[in-house]
Structure 1
Amino acid sequence: MHPPKTQTFDVDAAVNTDTKGIVREVHKYREEPFGLYMSRAVVNRPSATWIRQWLLPDLGIAVAVWDWAPGHVRDQDFYLDIARIDRAGGRWTMTDLYLDVVVRSGRSSEVIDVDEFVDAVATGVLTPALAEYGMRRAYTTVAALAAHGHDLGAWLATEGITLSWD
């Protein structure tokens, strides 16, 4: 079992660094009072070509929209990582807590990767405090999405958040 994946988003340097230390150039960052927007090319992943993502620290989620390569299109409108997101100046850090939510607008919201979450807790690579935080964020997120007809924008509007995408 791998430890939680951690990414850094360095606004000043216009880069995104993944858990393996691979640095990727960011096309666009935009900071808002509620979070950070990032848009960049996807490199060395045959299934996708571009990612646009919002980090929303108060909600414990990162909302992504993927541009899929031909033959790899998925039935999803939004992909939400359940995460702890911290900020220090122009540097943001996201610790992925294994659980993800796939949103199919107006149809469904599904928690996935529960097996990875359970393995991480069982093997001790995810602390009890982070595990509880992640479970609460996933439960709260899915309940809010369901209460708003699986409409991400409608739910986020009640939180004072409006996402815009390039």
Structure 2
Amino acid sequence: MTTQREIAERLGLPVHPPKTEVFDLAAGTNTDPKGHVRTVSRFRREPFGLYLARPLPGHPRLAALESWLLPALGLRVTRWYWRPGHERDIDLYLDLVDVESGDGEWRTVDHYLDLEVRQGRGLELLDVDEFVLAVQSGLLDPTTAERAMRRSCAAIEGITRCGYDLPKWLRDNDIELSWGGQPTQDPVPEPRSLPPSE
């Protein structure tokens, strides 16, 4: 299978094509952007999205992740579980994505823009440079680029308006996320606890 990086290099592009991931509920797997098939510990469907949890064996900094795929908002919301000594001051990480949902399979296409949320303290928009290069290179068509930008602006405005309280903003959109906890046996500390929402 040809990787996205190989495609970008072959075409002489300054940035990789949009990353695609596949989530196979029946097989219990997640195929990452490089084509690696990973075992998912848990999937759970809700009317507003898909939850998944999986360990990250062999990753030098991360032990596991939990994510929610939220089609209506065009977001993947992730909690990372860091290996000792590699912790970062991030509570939740948001990828701007298109989400295709199905009975047995879900798919995401990443649109380069990401948000790091520090619950109750702030947020940061990331990878604007990659987004601009992808648009200039034709890797994102104008309609997709505009959709990604509108979604990122809506998320930034909503989270900021709610005092950087991502769960509150999601509840305002009729989405209540729940988390299952670390999906691995490695002795990794729990993520920092979030203050209760008002």
RMSD of aligned residue pairs (Cα, Å): 0.8
Separation in structure 1 between the aligned mates of residue 75 and residue 28 of structure 2, nearest angstrom:
21
The runs of 4+ residues in structure 1 deviating greater than 6 Å are none
2:175 to 158, 161, 165: 161
**d(CA) in 2 for partners of 1:20, 1:50:** 18
Shift of 1:151: 0.4
Choose which of 20, 28, 40 in structure 1 pairs with 2:54: 40
Q: CA deviation at 1:104?
A: 0.3
Match of 1:90 in 2: 104
How far the C-alpha of 1:44 sits from its partner, in A, is 3.2
Q: Name the CA distance, whole Å, in 2 between partners of 1:41 and 1:48.
A: 9
Which is higher, the Rg of structure 1 or of structure 2? Answer: 2
Query: Mean alpha-carbon deviation: is it higher for 26-35 or for 42-51?
Result: 42-51
Higher strand share: 1
User: Which residue matches 1:64?
Assistant: 78
Question: What pairs with 1:1-166 in structure 2 (closer than 5 Å)?
Answer: 1-166=15-180
Q: Deviations over 1:69-122 (max 9, x none)?
A: 122111110000000001122210000100000000001011111111111111
Name the SS of the counterpart of 1:160 in structure 2.
coil
Distance 2:146 2:101 in 1: 21
Query: What residue identity is the alignment partner of 2:155?
Result: T
Q: Distance in 2 between matches of 1:57 and 1:142?
A: 17
Q: Under a length normalisation based on structure 2, what TM-score does the superposition of the two structures give?
A: 0.82
AA aligned opposite 1:57: P
Per the normalisation by structure 1, the TM-score is 0.98
Determine the C-alpha separation between the residues in 2 that align with 1:19 and 1:50.
Answer: 17
Q: Which runs of 5+ in 1 are unaligned?
A: none
SS at match of 2:145: helix
Counterpart of 1:52, as a letter, is E
